[in-house]
């Protein structure tokens, strides 16, 4: 039985002038890679965008990361027994589970699924005083995003989940140079003899073709969610990773784009990040950056498969330019095929 199964997502995506992920000074995040400055979008920014995409899908069980965990439990208690003191019972339920809180909430953000909040509420309404039952309730039935992105609980490490997914910081395939947009704003009600602006400012931005990478440990995911839900979750993860976009300065730049090309693999050895394709920055040319980036990615992947890594068990591509790696298909067809491939692989491994 193969105990390893990973789904790797490789995306090339061009964004116009934008500032989708800012640092503490308001500048677009950057990184030096291959000796040159690259545009960068942090993994946290894209994971937040993905969780927002999950929440828009009513069919998915999405957890809440909040300091107001007691409010989630309270809502479930009120649904079960509105006549009880829900505030007191909710706080006591969390205390029994080992989660410390005060009037302002938990000390740190706490990740909880709807099913876990409901289980705590049921124990509280029943009047259970068994702390192990409360801890078990908080450990069982994680939401799909909890299983994907993990949970860290400082108060009780036994409640932690290892993340089944990893998301890399996206970097541009080429060198970038940040630019500044100087803007003014005019008061609509100013006096006729005042021709000046009422506000002046600048916004820093850049544009780039990004290489985006993420991987999902399917066996880890199946261990937490079961085989059937794991396959559905991989598909949901892929769809969110393909189509989400961090919202930084979105109203200013309207930079919502779709990928130029997508390469997805099922691997039975280990995840393989193909960012090495761009360690040597794609040079400026009349072709732009997207087409040369596709060629560099395809060439590097083939190079890896002929030297260090085994070829993937299955591969899928969307968009043009990567057909040498796998036949191109629509995004929907690829996601359908990916879900089926993961389901079949897990059935063969008898997981869940």
| Three-state secondary structure string covering 232-269 | HHHHHHHHHHHHCCCCCCHHHHCCCCCCCEEEEEEECC
Query: Are residue 132 and residue 206 in the same domain, yes or no?
Result: no
Residue 150 located in a structural domain = no
> CA–CA separation, 53 vs 59, rounded Å?
12
**What's the pLDDT score for residue 351?**
42
Q: What is the pLDDT along the chain (352 residues), one digit of tens a residue?
A: 568 999 999 999 999 999 999 999 999 999 999 999 999 999 999 999 999 999 988 678 899 999 999 999 999 999 999 999 999 999 999 999 999 888 888 988 999 999 999 999 999 999 999 999 999 999 999 999 999 999 998 878 889 999 999 999 999 999 999 999 998 788 888 777 776 777 888 999 999 999 999 999 999 999 999 998 999 999 999 999 999 999 999 999 999 999 999 999 999 999 999 999 999 999 999 999 999 999 999 999 999 999 999 999 999 999 999 999 999 999 999 999 999 999 999 998 654 3
Query: Are residue 58 and residue 74 in the same domain, yes or no?
Result: no
**Residue 112 CB neighbours (<10 A):** 23
Q: What is the DSSP letter of 161?
A: B
Looking at the structure of the chain, the number of domains it has is 2
For the chain, state the CA radius of gyration.
24
Query: Are residue 306 and residue 204 in the same domain, yes or no?
Result: yes
Q: Which one, of 151, 146, 208, lies nearest residue 176 by Cα?
A: 208
**What's the pLDDT score for residue 349?**
65
Query: Are residue 83 and residue 224 in the same domain, yes or no?
Result: no
Query: Are residue 104 and residue 85 in the same domain, yes or no?
Result: yes
Residue 158 located in a structural domain = no
| pTM of the full structure | 0.93
Chain center to CA of 218: 16
**What's the pLDDT score for residue 58?**
64
**What's the pLDDT score for residue 87?**
93
Query: Are residue 226 and residue 121 in the same domain, yes or no?
Result: no
Residue 160 located in a structural domain = no
Residue 326 located in a structural domain = yes
Residue 148 located in a structural domain = no
Query: Are residue 133 and residue 58 in the same domain, yes or no?
Result: no
Query: Are residue 223 and residue 302 in the same domain, yes or no?
Result: yes
Chain center to CA of 155: 25
With beta carbons less than 8 A apart as the criterion, state whether 4 and 246 touch: no
Tokens 């931005």 identify what position? 205
**What's the pLDDT score for residue 352?**
39
| CA separation, residue 183 to residues 143, 198, 223, 248 (Å) | 44, 11, 53, 18
207: buried, middle or exposed (CB in 10 Å: 19+, 13-18, 0-12)? middle
Query: Are residue 257 and residue 323 in the same domain, yes or no?
Result: yes
Beta-carbon contacts of 126 under 8 Å, excluding residues fewer than 6 positions away, are none
Which residue, 127, 142, 157, sits at the end of a domain?
142
Q: Cα–Cα–Cα angle for 223, 45, 153, nearest 5°?
A: 45
> CA–CA separation, 12 vs 298, rounded Å?
11
Element (H, E) at 183: strand 179-185
Query: Are residue 334 and residue 310 in the same domain, yes or no?
Result: yes
Query: Are residue 118 and residue 170 in the same domain, yes or no?
Result: no
Structural domain that includes position 95: 69-142
**What's the pLDDT score for residue 156?**
84
Handedness of CA 323, 298, 44, 234 (dihedral sign): positive
**What's the pLDDT score for residue 2?**
63
Query: Are residue 136 and residue 32 in the same domain, yes or no?
Result: no
Residue 321 located in a structural domain = yes
Q: Cα–Cα–Cα angle for 89, 91, 92, nearest 5°?
A: 60
């Amino acid at each position: 039985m193969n105990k390893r199964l990973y789904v790797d997502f490789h995306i090339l995506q061009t964004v116009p002038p934008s500032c989708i992920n800012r640092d503490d000074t308001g500048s677009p995040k950057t990184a030096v890679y291959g000796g040159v400055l690259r545009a960068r979008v942090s993994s946290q920014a894209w994971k937040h965008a993905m969780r927002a995409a999950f929440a828009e899908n009513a069919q998915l069980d999405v957890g809440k990361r909040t300091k107001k965990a007691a409010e989630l439990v309270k809502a479930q208690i009120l649904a079960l027994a509105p006549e009880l003191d829900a505030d007191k019972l909710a706080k006591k339920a969390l205390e029994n589970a080992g989660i410390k809180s005060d009037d302002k909430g938990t000390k740190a953000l706490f990740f909880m699924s709807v099913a876990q909040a409901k289980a705590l509420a049921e124990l509280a309404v029943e009047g259970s005083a068994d702390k192990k039952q409360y801890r078990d309730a908080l450990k069982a039935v994680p939401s799909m995003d909890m299983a994907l992105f993990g949970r860290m609980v400082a108060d009780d490490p036994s409640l932690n989940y290892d993340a089944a997914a990893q998301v890399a910081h996206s970097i541009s395939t080429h060198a970038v140079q940040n630019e500044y947009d100087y803007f003014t704003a005019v008061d609509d009600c100013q006096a006729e003899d005042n021709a000046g602006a009422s506000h002046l400012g600048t916004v820093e931005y850049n544009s780039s073709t990004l290489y985006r990478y993420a991987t999902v440990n399917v066996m880890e995911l199946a261990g937490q969610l079961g085989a059937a839900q794991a396959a559905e979750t991989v598909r949901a993860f892929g769809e969110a990773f393909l189509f989400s976009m961090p919202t930084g300065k979105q109203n200013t730049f309207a930079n919502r784009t779709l990928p130029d090309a997508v390469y997805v693999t099922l691997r039975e050895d280990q995840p393989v990040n193909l960012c090495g394709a761009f360690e040597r920055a794609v040079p400026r040319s009349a072709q732009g950056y997207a087409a040369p980036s596709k060629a560099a990615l395809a060439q590097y992947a083939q190079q890896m498969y002929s030297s260090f890594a085994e070829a993937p068990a299955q591969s899928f591509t969307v968009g043009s330019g990567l057909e040498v790696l796998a036949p191109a298909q629509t995004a929907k067809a690829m996601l359908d095929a990916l879900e089926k491939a993961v389901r079949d692989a897990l059935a063969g491994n008898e997981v869940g």
